[in-house]
Amino acid sequence: MKKILPVLMIIALLASCAAPESPVPVEDAPAEAPAETPAEAPEEPEEPPEPPRPEYEPGVIDGDTYISDYFSVRFKLPEGWQWFTDSANENGLSADFEMYAFGDEGLQSMSFTAGEGGAGDACATYLADLPAALEESGYSDYGYAETTVTIAGRECPAVSLAGTVEVVEGVSAPVYILAVFVEHEGRYGEFTATSFVTDANAEIIEGVTE
């Protein structure tokens, strides 16, 4: 009996070693969270449309002063000068001039025109067209240069010209021209001072003020 007991103990011990351990319950793995949808970038607000460009308003003549509210400039007639009237168009004066004035018995004049585009582009076009225009008008011994002129407190592109032109058949005279370009809202205005015999254009242009 004593021999049987140790054998049973060994068998029981072996049995306990061989028996599989009770399975440990496995906790359920947490379910994967659904992938987050990336947030859409907020739409950038649309830029407000640019306000429409103001309509062009031609200048007016008030007594002895030409006034352009659009370009914020005015030109007062020098003493002894006068305006060309509409009747002057019959004598070849272009109706495109908003203002045309003359003095000193016609030896000096000042005009103003307006058009689309910037002052710099208008000045470049003026320069490009100048040689053909001078030849067509009978100018000789002429020279010209691009420059800048300050009028009404603004530095503006300009073209200065000096030459000789036949004023009556067989008679020629020195002529000086100074074209100055102002700009506003994508439009240009051109003041053109002209002097015969003596260059007075700087003094004429000084008559343009704000």
Assess if residue 52 is contained within a domain.
Answer: no
Q: Note the pLDDT tens digit of each residue in 85-139.
A: 655 455 555 567 899 999 988 899 999 999 999 999 999 999 999 999 998 988 9
If you average pLDDT over residues 25-48, what whole number do you get?
Answer: 64
pLDDT in tens, 159-209: 999 999 988 888 899 999 999 999 999 999 999 999 999 999 999 999 999
The pLDDT value recorded for residue 4 is 35
In a domain, 89, yes or no: yes
**The amino acid at 183:** E
Distance CA 151, CA 117 (A): 19
- Give the per-residue pLDDT at 82: 92
For residue 147, give the nearest of 183, 197, 181 by alpha carbon.
181
Q: Which residues of 35-59 are buried (b: 16+ CB within 10 A; e: fewer)?
A: eeeeeeeeeeeeeeeeeeeeeeeeb
Rounded CA-CA distance 184/210 in Å is 14
pLDDT digits (tens, 9 = 90+) for 38-88: 667 677 777 777 778 788 999 999 999 999 999 999 999 999 999 986 554
* Better-scored residue on pLDDT, 53 or 153: 153
Does residue 36 sit within a domain? no
Q: What distance in Å separates the CA atoms of residue 202 and residue 162, rounded to the nearest whole number?
A: 13
pLDDT of residue 113: 94
Q: Examine residue 24 and state whether it is found in any structural domain, yes or no.
A: no
In total, how many domains does the chain have?
1
CATH code of the domain covering residue 85 = 3.40.1000.10
Q: Is the residue at 12 inside a domain?
A: no
What tokens does 73 get? 């400039």
C-alpha triplet 193, 198, 200: angle, nearest 5°: 40
> CA-based diameter of the chain, in Å?
164
Q: Which two tokens stand for residue 87?
A: 């009747």
Residue 21 has pLDDT above 70, yes or no: no
Determine the Cα–Cα distance for residues 43 and 77; give it in Å rounded to an integer. 58
Residue 70 included in any domain: yes
Q: Flag whether 9 is in a domain.
A: no
Give me the domain span that covers residue 87: 60-209
pLDDT of amino acid 99: 92
Angle formed at CA 167 by CA 201 and CA 78, multiple of 5 degrees: 30
Query: Is residue 60 a contact partner of residue 71, using CB atoms and an 8 Å limit?
Result: no
Which residues lie closer than 8 Å to 202 by C-beta, 6 or more apart? 178
Tell whether 94 is covered by a domain: yes
